[in-house]
């Protein structure tokens, strides 16, 4: 089935990024937007643009009836969800199917299996994928949490089964702190996800966060597009991503890729997805979760492979077979810095009007952003306003290129994290690859 018209159920840089690929493929792009985003570039560039509600996400980008109505009015064939909002909403996927709209992503079954972190862990164990020691399912209460923590040893981490983005997570180092941590995490999970179910794992000290980009098709094929190192984080939020992960030796890298492919095949996965692992100091890796959607940081995988992952997602949704793994060559080193409208020291949001914007360019430099001069950043959504990505033949050259490129990026009128990233490109620990997921919390 050829898809001819695709509705983009998202906003910001990913909406513009997806629109470009859709148009390059000779297809028509429909965008939906809130009243706060009426001046966005993707609204101007779309073949069809439909306002679906007011500023709040619940009135617009999470408003399923409005999005489905927009798809029917515009006669769209398919929906591209991007990331965030409805990208992992099983109810939305089922409603799309009911309205004969192709959801460009995995099946409801695969999404349901991997969205529950404790069930996903059990599935991975059955598939022979290494997992962190912890609860086999949900931890019922604080008594059960104490008993399990005593068994696997402190420190432990409590996690929301329906969680993500660092919410509903607490590290516990002593038994006397476990009750408070459990109730706090449970309450946060209920507020964020409407589900307070908790599970527990052994907490790995100072790990690296490595993930593998995969994509599967309806013919049983699964490809990997290398791995990414996403260890530079603040409060579990990724700030800088790289590919490849240079701490891995070739044998470990190959095992990691094979493990991700095996896991994807075990659940019959179709579409783009990411398997996330924690890697300890001895290069042992452990599955932590799968994201059943496109990742923010997919760009670094595109830069080292030369592939367009959104194009592959659309082709898979049309029923096409993926190319063979042997046809994919991973070369050089790519780095991505997430540019957010935040204070570079405190990371507090800084919405407002952009009074000056100079976008850097040059060979192997990419800026995925929806902003422009005189654009006003609305205060209602995520603060990310762009992703700056560079590629070079090795990591040291890529770091230097990123520093030079960041210095050429000018965004006036608001505070951004540009200066934070410049400092990181000069940071000797980062340059020497001597950091972990907790690095920034120790500074």
Confidence of residue 119 (pLDDT cuts 50, 70, 90): confident
Concatenated DSSP letters of 409-429: -EEESS--THHHHHHHHH-HH
CA distance 233 to 167: 14
Q: Are 168 and 174 in contact (CB under 8 A)?
A: no
Lowest mean pLDDT of 113-127, 203-217, 342-356, name the range. Answer: 113-127
Cis amide linkage into residue 106, ω under 30° from 0: no
The pLDDT assigned to 236 comes to 87
pLDDT bucket at 59, cuts 50 / 70 / 90: very high
Asked whether 218 and 316 are in contact (CB, 8 A), the reply is: yes
83 alpha-carbon distance from chain centroid: 7
What are the strands of the beta sheet with 365-369, ordered from one edge? 285-291, 271-279, 208-216, 222-234, 237-243, 333-340, 384-392, 365-369
Q: What is the pLDDT of residues 366-381, one digit of tens each?
A: 999 999 999 999 999 9
Number of H helices, E strands in the chain: 14, 20
Q: Apex CA 229: angle with CA 196 and CA 406, to 5°? A: 110
Q: pLDDT band at 118, cuts 50/70/90?
A: confident
The per-residue pLDDT for 191 is 85
Percent pLDDT > 90 in the chain is 90
Q: Write out the two tokens for 126.
A: 């059955």
Determine the pLDDT at residue 165.
67
pLDDT tens readout for residues 142-179: 999 999 999 999 999 999 988 776 789 999 999 999 99
pLDDT at 256 over 70: yes
Q: Report, as an integer, the average pLDDT of 130-138.
A: 89
Q: Which runs of consecutive H residues, i.e. helices, occur in 25-105?
A: 41-45, 64-73, 90-98
With CA atoms as reference, report the closest residue to 286 among 226, 215, 207: 207
Residues 337 and 405: beta-carbon distance below 8 Å:
no
Q: Following DSSP, what letter does each residue of 155-224 receive, concatenated?
A: SEEEEEEEEETTEEEEEE-SGGGHHHHHHHHHHHHHHHHS---EEEEEPPSS-EEEEEEEEE-TTS-EEE
Reduced to 3 states, what is the DSSP secondary structure of residue 154? Answer: coil
418: annotated active-site residue: no
* φ, ψ of residue 215 in degrees (nearest 5): -150, 135
Cα separation of 259 and 284, whole Å? 13
CB 293 within 8 A of CB 87: yes
Phi, psi of 254 (to 5 degrees): -65, -40
Domains of the chain: 5-104 (3.40.50.20), 133-202 (3.30.1490.20), 208-442 (3.30.470.20)
pLDDT in the model for residue 332:
99
pLDDT at 122: 87
Q: What end-to-end distance do the CA atoms of the chain give, in Å?
A: 53
What token pair was written down for 302? Answer: 């595109």
> Using 50, 70 and 90 to split pLDDT, how confident is the model at 257?
very high
Give the integer Cα–Cα distance in Å for 433 and 414: 31
pLDDT band, very low/low/confident/very high, at 401 (cuts 50, 70, 90): very high
If you average pLDDT over residues 324-343, what whole number do you get? 98
DSSP letter, residue 345: T
> Where is average pLDDT lowest: 73-82, 166-175, 210-219?
166-175
**Mean per-residue pLDDT of the chain:** 96
Q: Which of 17, 208, 293, 338 is catalytic?
A: 293
- Give the model's pLDDT for residue 333: 99
Question: pTM for the full model?
Answer: 0.90
- Pairing type for strands 167-172 and 78-80 reads unpaired
Taking the C-alpha atoms of 358, 359, 362 and 363 in order, what is their torsion angle to the nearest 10 degrees?
170
Tokens standing for residue 156: 């432990």
What's the pLDDT band for 422 if we cut at 50, 70, 90? Answer: very high
How far, in Å, CA of 374 to CA of 111, rounded? Answer: 40
Task: Calculate mean pLDDT across residues 210-233.
Answer: 98
Confidence at residue 136, expressed as pLDDT on a 0 to 100 scale = 82
d(CA 288, CA 318): 31
Q: Give percent of the chain above pLDDT 70.
A: 100
User: Closest Cα partner for 66 from 136, 108, 9, 2?
Assistant: 9
Q: If DSSP codes are grouped into helix, strand and coil, which group holds residue 243?
A: strand
Token readout for 206 is 């100072």
Lowest mean pLDDT among 160-164, 223-227, 228-232, 383-387: 160-164
pLDDT at position 194 is: 86
- Dihedrals phi, psi of 242, to nearest 5 degrees: -135, 155
Instruction: Please report which confidence band the pLDDT of residue 336 belongs to, taking 50, 70 and 90 as the band edges.
Output: very high
Q: Rounded mean pLDDT of 3-24?
A: 98
Phi, psi of 333 (to 5 degrees): -140, 135
């Amino acid at each position: 089935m050829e898809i001819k018209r695709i509705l983009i159920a998202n906003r910001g840089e990913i909406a513009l990024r997806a629109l470009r690929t859709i148009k390059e493929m000779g297809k028509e792009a429909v965008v939906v937007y809130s009243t706060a985003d009426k001046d966005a570039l993707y609204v101007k560039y779309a073949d069809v643009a439909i306002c679906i509600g007011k500023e709040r996400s619940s009135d617009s980008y999470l408003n399923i009836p409005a999005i489905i109505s927009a798809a029917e009015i515009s006669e769209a064939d398919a929906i591209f969800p991007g990331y965030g909002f409805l990208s992992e909403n099983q109810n939305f996927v089922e409603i799309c199917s009911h309205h004969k709209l192709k959801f460009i992503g995995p099946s409801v079954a695969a999404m349901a299996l991997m969205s529950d972190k404790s069930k996903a862990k059990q599935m991975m164990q059955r598939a022979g994928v290494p997992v962190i020691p912890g609860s086999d399912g949900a931890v019922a209460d604080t008594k059960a949490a104490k008993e399990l923590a005593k068994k696997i040893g402190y420190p432990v981490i409590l996690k929301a089964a329906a969680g993500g983005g660092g919410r509903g997570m607490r590290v516990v180092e002593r038994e006397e702190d476990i009750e408070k941590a459990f109730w706090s995490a449970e309450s946060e999970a209920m507020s964020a996800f409407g589900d307070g179910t908790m599970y527990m794992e052994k907490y790995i000290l100072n790990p690296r966060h490595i993930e593998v980009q995969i994509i599967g098709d309806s013919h049983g094929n699964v490809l990997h597009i290398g791995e990414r190192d996403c260890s530079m984080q603040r409060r579990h939020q990724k700030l800088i991503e790289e590919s490849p992960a240079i701490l891995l030796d070739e044998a470990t890298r190959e095992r990691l890729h094979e493990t991700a492919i095996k896991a994807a095949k075990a659940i019959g996965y179709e579409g783009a997805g990411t398997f996330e692992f924690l890697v300890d100091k001895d290069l042992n890796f452990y599955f932590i979760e799968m994201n059943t959607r496109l990742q923010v940081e997919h760009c670094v995988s595109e830069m080292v492979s030369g592939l367009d992952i959104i194009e592959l997602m659309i082709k898979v949704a049309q029923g096409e077979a993926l190319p063979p793994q042997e046809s994919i060559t991973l070369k050089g080193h790519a780095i991505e810095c997430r540019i957010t409208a935040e204070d570079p020291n405190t990371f507090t949001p800084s919405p407002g009007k952009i009074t000056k914007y100079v976008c850097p360019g040059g060979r192997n430099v990419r800026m995925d952003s929806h902003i422009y001069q005189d654009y006003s950043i609305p205060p209602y959504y995520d603060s990310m306003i762009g992703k700056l990505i560079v590629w070079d033949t090795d990591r040291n050259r890529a770091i230097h290129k990123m520093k030079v490129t960041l210095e050429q990026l000018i965004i006036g009128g608001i505070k951004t994290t540009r200066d934070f990233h410049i400092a990181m490109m000069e940071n000797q620990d980062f340059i020497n690859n001597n950091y972990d997921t907790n690095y920034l919390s120790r500074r």
